[in-house]
Amino acid sequence: MESGNLRCGRRLITSETGRGEVVKIEGRISFLGEVNPKEGKLYDGRSIKGKVLIAEGAKGSTVGAYVIYALKYYGNQPLAIIFEEETDPIVVSGCVMAGITHGDMFGKLDLRDGDVVDVWEEDGKLCLGISKTPP
């Protein structure tokens, strides 16, 4: 994604919007087992608190919804959860419970950890635009 470019996907839940740093996961994320909600970190140590979490999609246990809710409970929720492909019911119910902005079907996103993006809602879609200004 070039500077100034924007990409929109399906808007599922809009809560917070604004500017955040990207944390990118290659492949699908399982919230149960791969996310520590108490620390707000992925199991590889990267923090997701206040970040724009981007992954291909989701996998794993139905308890995942409670893990997403737990992120919010401990104040460690990401700004938004963005999936390149289609989401799943577990993540949707978790994001509704936690009030976390969530969109899917963005297509392949050429973004890296540390990129700064704006997240906003437009015409019923959820949009991402790369920003040069730090969050």
Partner 1 sequence: MHLTREEERMLKGEYGEAMRIAMEIVVKVGEVLGADKLVDISHAHASGVSYGTIGEPGLHWLRELSSKGAKARVYSTVNPIGMDLDDPNKIPVGEQFYKKQMEVLQAFKDMGFEISVTCTPYYLRKPKPFERLSWGESSAVAFANSVLGSFTNREGGPLAVASAITGKTYHAGLQVLENRRTTHLIVHPELDDPVEWSALGYLVGEKVGSGIPRYPKPPQDEESMKLMLAASAASGGIALSVLEKVTPRGTYDIGDEERVEIDEKEIEELFRFNDPELIFHGCPHSNLNELKKINEIIKDKVSREFWIATSPKVFDEALREGIIQSLENKGIKVVKGTCSVVTPIERLGYKRIMTTSAKTYFYLNRKGLEVALVRVRDLWRVVT
Q: Annotated active-site positions, please?
A: 61
Does residue 69 belong to the site contacting partner 1 (CB under 8 A)?
yes
Q: Which of 89, 108, 113, 122 binds partner 1 (CB under 8 A)?
A: 89
Residue 30 contacts residue 59 (beta carbons within 8 Å): yes
Q: Which of 28, 74, 125, 131 binds partner 1 (CB under 8 A)?
A: 74
Beta bridge partners of 133: none
Give min distance, CB of 95 to partner 1, in A. 8
Does residue 120 belong to the site contacting partner 1 (CB under 8 A)?
no
Does residue 103 belong to the site contacting partner 1 (CB under 8 A)?
no
Q: Which of 28, 60, 73, 129 binds partner 1 (CB under 8 A)?
A: 73
Segment 9 to 48, residues that bind partner 1, using CB under 8 A: 12-13, 37
State the residues that interact with partner 1 by CB under 8 A: 12-13, 37, 62-66, 69-70, 72-74, 86-90, 92-94, 96-97
